[in-house]
Amino acid sequence: MKYRNKNQARNNVQDSSAKQANRQTKVAGGNFVDKLHAYRDQHAHALFSSLGRIVAAPFNLIMTISVLAIAISFVSGFYILEVNIQQLAVHIEANNQISLFLRDDVSEAHANKLAESIRKNSNVQNVKLITKEEAATEFQTYSGFGSAINELEKNPLPIVLQVLPKKNLDDIHELEALQKEFQQSPEVDVVQIDLQWIERLQSITNVVKLFANMLSILLGVAVLVIIGNTVRLELHNRREEVVILKLVGATNSFIQRPFLYAGFWIGFISSIFAWFIVTVLMLILRYSVEKLSSLYGGSFHMLFLSLTDTLTLIVVSSLLGVFASWTVISYQMHTTRLKKQKILKV
């Protein structure tokens, strides 16, 4: 019974090899249209037959895809974390105004002229003037010491100009230069801006970006190794079929094709599962993060993987699978060729 099953499997391989040889014959002869159709049929057969072989071993498929999906989701997760931190940094910097406290002897008319001159600055987006009366009203509303200011004979609060820098002005040195420029004005008493907070936020963004890049490289290598090892085992299981294909005259590219598509399918399916993992985690975190932002008076909304990011994830993962398969197959065939040459010399 075992002998009969083995012969039957060998006959199936031979029949498959004969069909592949017939396709190669069609490519070798005939007009351009016939060659194009035969080439298309070869790739279509390799594409779907490789998928069928992968699905035929569901346990191995689930184990491999799970490991790869987790590795790829780490890379995608840190990427989207970096994107959200950058968005938060831009949001904070956009609301980080420079406050100019004017001298007590500066009149409101003079302050309006100063505000107009500052608006003409190429690095300034907008200027808001807060009069002494408006400042006193805000102090009474938010400070909790509203009754204390009413006891004073004169309003001690100065006129304030709130300067909003342009969005492209995100360098700490440029903001310091703008601060010094305002400080040189004779009407200005104090210039206030929280440069330390901006510097800390930029440092955090740079650290996350560097860590995400390093993690991408390490996990990219891990993905290559895992897919390469999976394809190597598949090649080992199909070594008899490869030998028969070589005997009937199949080219190296023809033999490599189904294994390359196997690597493509592994990378493609893993990227889909990785996208699903990242999206679910982001949905779980979104409510808590946005609620925390609202408690501090913010309107931060988490960003998800865009269509471009998703397509990039799928394409890169699929190409990594193809590259890993090509590397393993090329190495194995080169090793086999060297062994044959040694045998012939002996």
**Chain-centroid distance, C-alpha 151:** 59
* Averaged pLDDT for residues 192-219: 83
Q: What would the two tokens of residue 137 be?
A: 């009203």
Q: Where are the beta strands (DSSP E) in 134-238?
A: 160-165, 188-192
- pLDDT, position 341: 56
Q: What integer pLDDT is reported at residue 129 of this predicted model?
A: 93
Using CA atoms, how far apart are residues 3 and 5, in angstroms rounded to an integer? 6
Q: Rounded CA gap, 155 and 137, in Å?
A: 11
State the helix-helix crossing angle for 239-247 and 252-295, rounded to 10 degrees: 140
pTM score, whole prediction: 0.69
Report the share of the chain in percent with pLDDT over 70: 80
Asked if residue 342 has pLDDT above 60, the reply is no
- Is 73 or 29 the better-scoring residue by pLDDT? 73
Domain residue extents for the chain: 2-90+201-345, 97-193
Task: Give residue-wise pLDDT tens across range 177-200.
Answer: 888 899 899 999 998 886 777 777
Report the candidate in 238, 231, 343 with the shortest Cα–Cα distance to residue 335: 343
Q: Is the predicted pLDDT of residue 30 greater than 60, yes or no? A: no
What is the rounded distance in angstroms from the CA atom of residue 296 to the CA atom of residue 173?
A: 28
Q: Which CATH class is domain 97-193?
A: alpha beta
101 and 94 in contact (C-beta within 8 Å)? no
List 128's β-bridge partners, or say none. 162
Q: What is the pLDDT of residues 285-317, one digit of tens each?
A: 998 888 877 776 667 788 899 999 999 999 999
Higher per-residue pLDDT: 145 or 18: 145
With cut-offs at 50, 70 and 90, classify the pLDDT of residue 55. confident
Size (the chain), residues: 346
| pLDDT recorded at residue 253 | 81
**Per-residue pLDDT at 249:** 80
| Interval 128-137 mean pLDDT | 87
At residue 73 the predicted structure's pLDDT band, cuts being 50, 70 and 90, is very high
Residue 13: what pLDDT?
45
Mean pLDDT across the chain: 81
pLDDT at residue 323 tops 90: yes
| Strand 124-130 relative to strand 160-165, pairing | antiparallel
Residue whose entry in the numeric block shows the structure tokens 């001690």: 156
Name, in order, each residue with C-beta under 8 angstroms of 141's C-beta and a sequence gap of 6 or more.
none
What is the DSSP code string of 296-313? TT---------HHHHHHH
What is the band of 237 on the pLDDT scale with cuts at 50, 70, 90? confident
Q: Among 55-59, 181-185, 202-206, whose mean pLDDT is lowest?
A: 202-206
